Amino acid sequence: MTNTIADIETADVILVTGSNTTENHPVLSTFIKRAALKGKTVIVIDPRKIKLTEHSQKWLRPNPGTDIAWINGLMNVIVKENLHDKEFIKNRTEGFEALQETVKKYTPAYVEEITGIPANDIVETARLFAKAEKASICYCMGITQHTCGTDNVKSLANLSMLCGHLGKAGGGVNPLRGQNNVQGACDMGGLPNVFTAYQKVDDPTAVRKYETAWNISGLSNKPGLAVTEMIHKAEKGEFKSLYIIGENPLVSDPDLNHAEKGFRNLEFLVVQDIFLTETAKLADVVLPSFCFAEKDGTFSNTERRVQRVRKAVEAPGFAREDWKITCEIATRMGTKMHYNSSEEIFEEIRKVTPSYAGITWERIENGGIHWPCPTVDHPGTPILHTTQFTRGKGLFHAIDHQAPAEVTDAQYPLILTTGRVLYHYHTGSMTMKSNGLNEMSPECFVEISQNDAAKLDIDDGEMVNVFSRRGKIKAKLSVSSKAVDGTVFIPFHFAKAAANRLTNAKIDPVAKIPEFKVCAITIQKAA
């Protein structure tokens, strides 16, 4: 996020897209709802009529997989009506001319043909966003989980820069992280191509720095594989072993039938987790680890705030802290790795991570600090890009709409999109241990519009079979006002009717993220 959570509430216009905020980020959604109560304008752009639309002044319903087109359509109107921030563009950006040329053809009428959004709604939304003194964009995996996910994000950045809404309070482009320490995991190098703070593994300077810090030589400078690439190579026999920490891919990965083949083809599988997940049941070795409440450390949340987490309860059985397991394995493999505490580990993080260098254990004793925080006397950075961008000038990207990897046809006439429900978390490995949550959300469902259910001659509550080109599941039909004609929603939490048996494993070429949000399906009444 370029801005803070609290800062969203100060915006004049809040554009939410690809985020079912009230169910996926219920705490953060309260800031948006409060802003609406204060008279601020909330715009929701989403294929479903999500709960947040009840608090919005405008809801635009695009066809799934057409985000670049409607974003370009907004920019077409903004430029044509001379509403863009010329001063910001001149002083803070480059590449505007190429963008201007690309968006020329995305007239409201043309965008309506692609997206299904009425042309007048494109015009009205563009004016609201551009004329606002402060406008914030919030997005989530409804934007990223596409084969063009990277370009979707770049397009939102284009829109914000075009109107000068970056680098100031109440503005920004704000991705909402899907889990509570995803930001921290990425900051710590939990990606295949970077060390901590996104220092490239193929950068000789970064490699030398880490070799010095760790007193080793010959550190690999070769980027690794994304998870989607690992599974593909495992199926082909080119990938032999996998060590999974705190993840349950046999429910969360796309095209699960294909994923299961890859996992069963591994020679050695290790899973480190707090419960015996579906993936752990397939493992050769299971390492029981501590949950968040059983250890000390830090979380870096969605707004880049680094905060302390403290041990509250004792861990059960033979469980160990994750870092102690890692150290023990490394030592037995020939590289002695030893720390006395989480604080000692954090001190090492500070030394090798420029954006964390000024954050000390003592400074976050009573409150968090936003990175980047380069020195101990630095207050932290709640808002990014206030004077310049990381690369100097912000770069506009001229991007054209591209169709999803899979489209409907006579055999598979409906579009499936997946996501979460309020009462469950990710693959349910934790929340489904709670009787109360299971009572609120006991099983998978297939959310469909009244019109589509009538066409299929299937009633609410009936069991149905859902087919895609990759697999099938059986679940209960739920006729809902959230659903719109032609689009079906299935939550991905439930292993017994795993939505990801249906989804497409095609990936974004840059981020390697699968296209979870668009998949062609058909539905039949279960026998």
Alpha-carbon span 98 to 323, nearest angstrom: 48
Mean pLDDT of the chain: 96
Grade residue 527 by pLDDT with cuts at 50, 70 and 90. Answer: confident
Kindly indicate the confidence band of residue 442, based on its pLDDT and cuts at 50, 70 and 90. very high
- Residue 366 in 3-state DSSP? coil
Domain count within the chain? 3
Distances (CA, A) of 43 to 35, 56, 122, 274: 12, 6, 11, 39
State pLDDT tens for residues 84-140: 999 999 999 999 999 999 999 999 999 999 999 999 999 999 999 999 999 999 999
User: Are 308 and 429 part of one and the same domain?
Assistant: no
The helix (run of H) or strand (run of E) holding residue 138 is strand 135-139
pLDDT tens string 417-441: 999 999 998 898 999 999 999 999 9
Neighbouring-strand partners of residue 514:
507
pLDDT band at 492 (very low <50, low <70, confident <90, very high): very high
pLDDT level of residue 163 (50, 70, 90 thresholds): very high
The pLDDT assigned to 380 comes to: 97
| Together in a domain, 338 and 455 | no
Report the share of the chain in percent with pLDDT over 90: 97
Q: How far apart are CA 333 and CA 416, in angstroms?
A: 45
| Alpha carbon separation from 236 to 239, 436, 490 (Å, rounded) | 8, 43, 30
Which contiguous run of DSSP H or E holds residue 344?
helix 342-352
- Here the CATH number for the domain that contains residue 337 is 3.40.50.740
The answer on 151 and 27 residing in a single domain is yes
454 shares a domain with 356: no
Report field, pTM of the whole predicted structure over 0.85: yes
Domain boundary among 176, 191, 210: 176
Domain membership of residue 46 (yes or no) is yes
- pLDDT for 445-465, tens place per residue? 999 999 999 999 999 999 999
Q: What is the pLDDT of residue 109?
A: 98
In the chain, the percentage of residues whose pLDDT exceeds 70 is 100
Do 340 and 441 lie in one domain? The reply is: no
Checking if the pLDDT of 180 tops 90, the result is no
- Give all strands of the β-sheet with 297-300 in edge-to-edge order: 297-300, 305-309, 369-370
Task: Measure the CA–CA gap between 447 and 404, rounded to whole angstroms.
Answer: 21
pLDDT in tens, 29-86: 999 999 999 999 999 999 999 999 999 999 999 999 999 999 999 999 999 999 999 9
Q: Are residues 367 and 437 in the same domain?
A: no
Are residues 91 and 137 both part of a single domain? yes
Quick one: which of 458, 484, 471 has its CA closest to 412?
Answer: 471
Q: Which domain holds residue 502?
A: 414-525
Q: What was the pLDDT predicted at 207?
A: 96
Q: Contact, 250 vs 256, CB < 8 A?
A: yes
- Give the pLDDT score at 179: 82
**In this predicted structure, what is the pLDDT of residue 465?**
97
Q: Is residue 388 part of a domain?
A: no
Residue 162 maps to which CATH number? Answer: 3.40.228.10
Please indicate, yes or no, whether residues 464 and 352 belong to a single structural domain of this protein.
no
Identify whether 390 is part of a domain.
Answer: no
Q: Of 153, 254, 152, which Cα lies nearest the Cα of 514?
A: 254
pLDDT of 405 strictly over 90: yes
- Cα-Cα-Cα-Cα torsion 64, 68, 69, 71, nearest 10 degrees, comes to 110
Give the per-residue pLDDT at 426: 87
**Spatial contact of 202 and 221, defined as CB atoms under 8 Å apart:** yes
